[in-house]
């Protein structure tokens, strides 16, 4: 789902995270294609599911691979990239 | 790419309401928590309950980025003079009147190229070739060191640090490893002529675009 949202450009960034200099997807320091490449390399052991820090019932998916750290959550129909760090 | 328009509805998390809410796209001034800037009149989704802007769609990110101040950071390394001569050689291949700005362009171009390959082994092996070159020079008399100094964007700085982290090399060794790749392109058998490396051709296009 995260991959599809990146491919189609239909993802969003939570407003409070949009100006975060460390959200490399928001700043444009990394492209959607680069994030897709990281997600494609993630296997089960590179993925964790954690509850959202303040809103019950929403899971945050954390992908960490090769020094990348990607946090994403889904609120149907939207995919939100909370952070893309390196 | 999907483009949203004012009036389109979506769902989002509203931390002020502490819930999943319905949000409506519209044009808003978006102020950021860090107080650094404000993006005026960008398409964003606001919570229907409290009006807080909760989501920035991908299509608004370019407008948002323009509001971020450009941060320059210094890059200063001491290099043997032949390394700078390599940067100058490529610069003069791609523009007729090269300046120090073109040294930076060449360095940044190859750094980005290496970073996009994600091949730390190639950087490490280039660093080993640099050490071998230094050894060869030892018996030939002194090579002066010269300072490479310019201000670089925070993005280029991040690329450089990424290469440093992946290779485990220090900054000057990383810069020299990058220059080693440049050296291979300009001193190779097909460096000049119809079969010149595609990197040189592309760099020429970049230089022409930049000076447009």
**pLDDT tens, residue by residue, B56-104:** 999 999 888 887 766 788 999 999 999 999 999 999 988 988 988 899 9
Mean pLDDT, residues B33-51 taken together: 84
B146-178 as b/e: b if 16+ CB within 10 A: eebeeebebbbbbbbebbbebbebeeebbbbbb
Point out the residue among B53, B55, B158 whose CB comes nearest to the CB of A29: B158
In this predicted model, what pLDDT tens digit does every residue of B160-189 receive, in sequence order?
999 999 999 999 999 999 999 999 888 876
Q: Are B127 and B173 in contact (CB under 8 A)?
A: yes
What pLDDT band is residue A71 in, cutting at 50, 70 and 90? very high
Point out the residue among B11, B30, B118 whose CB comes nearest to the CB of A78: B11
* pLDDT at position A79: 93
- Non-local CB neighbours of B56 within 8 Å, separated by 6+ positions: A12, A13, A14, A15, A18, A26, B30, B42, B44, B45, B64
From CA A25, how far away is CA A10, in angstroms rounded? 13
A-chain residues near B30 (CB < 8 A)? 15, 18
- Residue to substitute from B31, B61, B156, interface A, most A β-carbons within 10 A: B61
Mean pLDDT, residues B137-160 taken together: 88
Distances (CA, A) of B62 to B56, B58, B200: 11, 8, 29
From CA B22, how far away is CA B7, in angstroms rounded? 12
From CA B141, how far away is CA B131, in angstroms rounded? 16
Query: Does A54 contact B15 at a Cβ distance shorter than 8 Å?
Result: yes
Query: Does B55 contact A19 at a Cβ distance shorter than 8 Å?
Result: no
Q: Taking 90 as the threshold, does the pLDDT of residue B43 lie above it?
A: yes
Q: Supply the ipTM of this predicted assembly.
A: 0.91
How many helices (H) and strands (E) would you count in chain A? 3, 5
* pLDDT at position A29: 80
* pLDDT at position B187: 80
B-chain residues near A80 (CB < 8 A)? 12-13, 55
Distances (CA, A) of B164 to B77, B121, B127, B160, B189: 14, 12, 11, 6, 30
Query: Does B10 contact A78 at a Cβ distance shorter than 8 Å?
Result: yes
From CA A75, how far away is CA B169, in angstroms rounded? 42
Point out the residue among A15, A27, A52 whose CB comes nearest to the CB of B65: A27
B14-29 as b/e: b if 16+ CB within 10 A: bbeeeebbebebeebe
Distance from CA of A6 to the nearest CA of B (A): 9
Point out the residue among A19, A29, A58 whose CB comes nearest to the CB of B34: A19
């Amino acid at each position: 789902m995260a991959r599809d949202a990146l491919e189609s450009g239909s993802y969003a960034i939570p407003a409070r995270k949009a100006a975060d200099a460390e959200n490399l997807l928001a700043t444009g320091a990394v492209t959607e294609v680069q994030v897709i490449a990281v997600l494609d390399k993630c296997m089960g052991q590179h993925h964790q599911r954690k509850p959202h820090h303040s809103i019950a019932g929403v899971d945050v998916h954390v992908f960490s691979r090769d020094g990348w750290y990607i946090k994403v959550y889904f609120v149907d129909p939207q995919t939100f990239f909370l952070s893309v760090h390196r | 790419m999907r483009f949203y328009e004012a009036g389109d509805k979506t769902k989002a998390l509203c931390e002020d309401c502490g819930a999943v809410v319905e949000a409506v796209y519209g044009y808003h001034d978006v102020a950021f928590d860090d107080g650094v800037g404000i993006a005026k009149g960008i398409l964003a989704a606001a919570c229907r309950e409290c009006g807080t802007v909760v989501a920035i769609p991908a299509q608004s990110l370019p407008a948002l980025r323009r509001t971020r101040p450009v941060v320059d950071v210094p890059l200063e390394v001491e290099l043997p003079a032949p390394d700078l001569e390599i940067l100058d050689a490529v610069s003069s291949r791609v523009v007729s009147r090269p300046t120090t700005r073109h040294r930076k362009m060449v360095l940044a171009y190859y750094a980005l190229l290496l970073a996009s390959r994600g091949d730390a082994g190639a950087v490490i092996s280039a660093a080993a070739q640099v050490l071998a070159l230094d050894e060869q020079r030892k018996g030939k008399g002194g090579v002066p060191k010269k300072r490479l100094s310019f201000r670089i964007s925070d993005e280029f700085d991040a690329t450089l640090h990424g290469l440093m982290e992946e290779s485990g090399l220090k900054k000057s060794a990383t810069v020299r490893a990058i220059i080693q790749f440049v050296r291979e392109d300009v001193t190779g058998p097909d460096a000049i002529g119809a079969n010149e490396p595609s990197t040189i051709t592309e760099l020429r296009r970049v230089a022409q675009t930049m000076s447009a």
